[in-house]
Chains A and B, each alone.
Chain A
Amino acid sequence: MRHTISVLVENKPGVLARVAGLFSARGYNISSLAVSETLDPTVSYITMVIEAKDEKVLEQIKKQLNKLIDIITITDFTKKEHVDRELILVKINYSSKSKAKLDSLLDKQVSKIIYSKGDSAIIEVVGEQEPLKQLLVILNEQFGIKELVRSGRIAMG
């Protein structure tokens, strides 16, 4: 099962390596990872989507993370009310003739064409996992996806 965890860490060199190293050393899987600064320049915010086969593994991951000296707090969103988003850039096959068809698919709130040139267009999509997944399937079926970049999930409780 996938779990979203956010980790507040000291903004120091090597902290990300400590977190990533812990996952590889103990055989845990990271599905996505987003790292950014916060309002406080001494603190960074890491959001991770991790795979844990059961509750026991999830507990171990959290406990092991907690042992890293530079980790300040850990929030597990699994059983917590929260919102999460991911941003995706997707390059599709496109020509101006199919603009109307594409427009009908895109919801202006969450997806829009941000660039087009020649036979491609880049679409920005922001949203929760399930609608993102559905939109990608449709885009691929109807236009064909050439390239895809995802920011990784971020969450807030």
Chain B
Amino acid sequence: MIGAQILIECLKREGVEVIFGYPGGQVLPIFDRLYDAEVKFILTRHEQAAAHAADGFARATGKVGVCLATSGPGATNLTTGIANAYMDSIPMIAITGQVKTFLIGNDAFQEADVTGITRPITKHNYLVKDVKDLAKVVREAFYIATSGRPGPVLIDIPSDVQLADTDFIWPETVNIRSYNPTSFGHPGQIKKAAKFIASARKPVIYAGGGVISSDASSELFELAEKIPAPVTWTMMGIGCFPTTHKLSLGMLGMHGTAYANHAIMESDLIIAVGARFDDRVTGRIDAFAPNAKVIHIDIDPSSISKNVRVDIPIVGDAKNILIELNSHIKKSSDTTDWLKTVTGFKRKHPLRYKEGDKIKPQHVIEQIYEATNGEAIITTEVGQNQMWACQWFKYSSPRTFISSGGLGTMGFGFPAAMGAKVGFPDKVVFDIAGDGSIQMNIQELATCVSNKINVKVAILNNGYLGMVRQWQELFYKRRYSQVNITSPDFVKLAESYGAVGIKITNPKDVRPAIDKALAIDNTVFLDFHIEPEENVYPMVPAGEALNRMIEGLA
């Protein structure tokens, strides 16, 4: 079997249903084999979008996302998408062509040192120089990408290796002596955590993306109700706990709810599960939760005690640890007064916005929530659109909110929506976008239309790069520098691609437009012309303590 065929066979055995990618000179043998293969191939219009689509597919389905590009520029175009997946611990396999082995290092046409470039943005990477190693490498790559703290793995395959012939030997098992992720937590630590929980009077559960990647939502739910303790989550944790539940505090941090931030600051025990105390979450680190002991459950030992001092670290898979922890919690803790206090925070500092003559972005998102009965998969771009999408859609289940967390990649949401829709063709997938972000991967309209991937895009069009404008307004004396952004006529643009565009300028037309979009069996751009200088509140200014929020309408 030649290398290209071995690759396709391995992907099949790993259960890969779809590949997102783009052909080119150094992957011709692979594409020749793809011509006859069963695996579905989605041809994007830019390699960056292929990586984001694979990422979106992975986040929505929990399976591995696979993208494929040629050497040189094909591979470098993937890198933003790979870095994005790396920061958010998303299992992804990126396959790139490389110049022939004897040309490597010669500055050959379309050559780039792709394993060198991607070393700091992959969990691991491989340059396959011998076809005999290929099957083993692919097997290892999938194992590494999906185990422990998941992440992207890149496989760089020179074109002569793709053509070289060898016997195909599928390794039944993977054994990497230098890689043994911990999956069960230390029993002694778990017992100690249960004791801390029993004596806590003001506990808060702080849940992150790890709860979603380890599929631990129901265990988290059980823990919250057993204690009972209020639950707040990071942006990556959205969907791990139902927003409408009485113990829900919503998202915390810079643009989190005021009540979540107040609860964290007053708590006496933080139970962190699959979260990493990112600077957008903690605010000023030395002022963070001054009276709280910290239990930190995480699969990655390097996340523990990185930013905050931890009293009880428990390394392992969140689901396994929570099952064990729940079994040690025999009766509920005395948290009645605390829950009353927290309810008081909620009543005193609700999320709010003011209706006006112009369309309010928060209203658009509320209407999308209602029109879809809360059952849509929401993807976002980055900036104000993203924060409003976090705040105003009431997520109730994991893998229904897909957003670029760690890297904050504008242009992510639209291709990620494609990936999610490919994973769930029967679900409504909505990308909440800004007029700036959507233009960063707008070429994917062609991919959507030609593959009948019908996603809906709500452009919150304010004529600004809104989040940067907000910072310039609040912290740079309204000196608006390079944040006015012009856009094409999104309706005509969508139409020219064969999609549908609808422009909405009046608040009363918001809901009918959303309903109309949902009824159209095509990709739809909803161009909402919103209040141009609407800000995202509450907001913790960078470097301030979490309880020093600007609440906007207070």
Q: Are B302 and A67 in contact (CB under 8 A)?
A: yes
Indicate if the CB atoms of B119 and A18 lie closer than 8 Å.
Answer: yes
**CB of A10, distance to nearest CB on chain B (Å):** 6
CB of A14 within 8 A of CB of B306, answer no
Q: Mark B19-54, 1 if CB is under 8 A from A, else 0.
A: 000000000000000000000000000000000000
Interface mask (A42-72 → B, CB under 8 Å = 1, otherwise 0): 0000000000000010011001101101111
Which residues of B125-177 have CB atoms within 8 Å of chain A's CB atoms?
Answer: 127, 144, 176-177
Q: Is the interface of A mostly helix, strand, loop or mixed?
A: helix
B102 interface residue per 8 A CB criterion = no
Asked whether, in the complex, the Cβ of B119 is within 8 Å of the Cβ of A14, the reply is yes
**Are the C-beta atoms of B178 and A10 separated by less than 8 Å?**
yes
A21 within 8 A of B: yes
Closest residue of chain B to A9, judged by CB? B178
- Smallest CB gap from A72: residue in B: B178
Q: Count of chain B residues with Cβ under 8 Å from any Cβ of A?
A: 17
Please tell me the size bucket of the interface on A. Answer: 20 to 34
Does chain B have a CB within 8 A of A100? no
Complex Cα spacing A22 to B301, Å: 16
Does chain B have a CB within 8 A of A1? no
The reply to whether the CB of A25 lies closer than 8 angstroms to some CB of chain B is yes
Q: Does B124 reach chain A (CB closer than 8 Å)?
A: yes
**Are A63 and B124 in contact, with the CB atoms below 8 A?**
no
- B119 neighbours in A (Cβ, 8 Å): 14, 17-18, 21
Measured between beta carbons, the chain A residues less than 8 angstroms from B178 are 9-10, 69-72
- Which A residues are CB-close (under 8 A) to B127? 13-14
Known A-B contacts A14-B115, A14-B119, A18-B119; A69 and B302 likewise in contact (beta carbons under 8 Å): no
Q: Which residues of B contact A64 (CB under 8 A)?
A: 302
Q: Does B475 contact A (CB under 8 A)?
A: no
> At the interface, yes or no: B116 with Cβ under 8 Å from chain A?
yes
Contact, CB under 8 Å: A69 / B176: yes
Which A residues lie within 8 Å of B124 (CB)?
A: 69
Interface string of A20-54 (1 = CB under 8 A from B): 01100100000000000000000000000000000
A14 to chain B: which residues have CB within 8 Å?
115-116, 119, 127
The answer, among B120, B123, B176, B302, for a CB contact under 8 Å with A63, is B302
B300 within 8 A of A: yes
Closest approach, in angstroms, between the C-beta of B190 and any C-beta of chain A? Answer: 21
Roughly how many angstroms separate A69 CA and B116 CA in the complex, as a whole number?
15
CB-contacts of B412-461 with A (<8 A): none
The 8 A-B residue pairs whose C-beta atoms are closest, nearest first, are A63-B302, A72-B178, A69-B124, A25-B120, A63-B301, A69-B179, A64-B302, A21-B119
Q: A66-B301, A72-B177 are in contact. List 8 more A-B contacts (CB 8 A).
A: A14-B116, A14-B119, A21-B119, A21-B120, A63-B302, A64-B302, A67-B300, A69-B124
